[in-house]
């Protein structure tokens, strides 16, 4: 069976590998029933949620993949750009949108992302009430990164670099996983 999917787009002909099932430029996705990515059986399900450009999620996924290669990383973005960035960083699976967050929160053991994922209308309106509710009500442990952005000020948080906040999140994740 060929590992390539071919798309006809205007006058050009493109071929993409099936294992790279997300094509952000066209919003197309394809997972073959024989070639789809299987989650590791013994690993924890770590759900990374991000919005806008996916920069924070991309950094988180890269660090989690580097430090915990046996864990399952599921990347969910509120838009396709965020999802694509996290998939390129090494996530096992990825999805986009409100319903994807709802479904992924059901099976996650740990949810990690910016604090805005639990605040309705945060991240310039990309976080809906349903997304915030799903994350807040999930049985998973939540590791939230405090950013003072989008008209949300968290008392006690000083202007710390993103790198330091990511390091603190990874330390918290390490405690949740039990390494």
Give percent of the chain with pLDDT exceeding 90.
46
The confidence band for 153, taking pLDDT boundaries of 50, 70 and 90, is confident
Structure tokens at 141: 């442990």
Q: What is the pLDDT of residue 106?
A: 93
pLDDT band (50, 70, 90) for residue 34: very low
CATH 3.40.50.720 fits 45-177, yes or no: yes
* pTM of structure: 0.75
Residues of the chain with CATH 3.40.50.720: 45-177
To the nearest whole percent, how much of the chain has pLDDT over 70? 74
pLDDT for res 104:
95
pLDDT at residue 122 in the model? 86
Rg of the chain taking only CA atoms, in angstroms: 17
- Angle between helical axes of 55-67 and 162-177 (0-180°, round to 10): 40
């Amino acid at each position: 069976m060929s590992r390539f999917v071919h798309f006809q787009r205007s006058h050009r002909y493109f071929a993409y590998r099936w294992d790279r099932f997300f094509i952000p430029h066209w919003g197309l996705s394809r997972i073959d029933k024989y070639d789809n990515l299987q989650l590791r059986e013994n690993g924890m399900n770590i759900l990374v949620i991000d919005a806008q450009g996916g920069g924070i999620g991309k950094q988180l996924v890269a660090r989690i993949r580097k430090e915990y290669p046996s864990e399952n990383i599921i990347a969910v973005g509120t838009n396709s750009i965020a999802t694509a960035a996290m998939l390129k960083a090494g996530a096992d699976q990825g999805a986009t949108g409100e319903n994807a967050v709802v479904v992924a929160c059901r099976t996650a053991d740990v949810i990690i992302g910016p604090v805005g994922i639990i605040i309705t209308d945060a991240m310039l309106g990309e976080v809906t009430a349903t997304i915030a509710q799903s994350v807040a009500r999930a049985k998973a442990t939540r590791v939230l990164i405090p950013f003072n952005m989008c008209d949300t000020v968290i008392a006690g948080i000083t202007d710390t670099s993103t790198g330091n906040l990511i390091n603190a999140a990874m330390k918290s994740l390490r405690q949740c996983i039990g390494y």
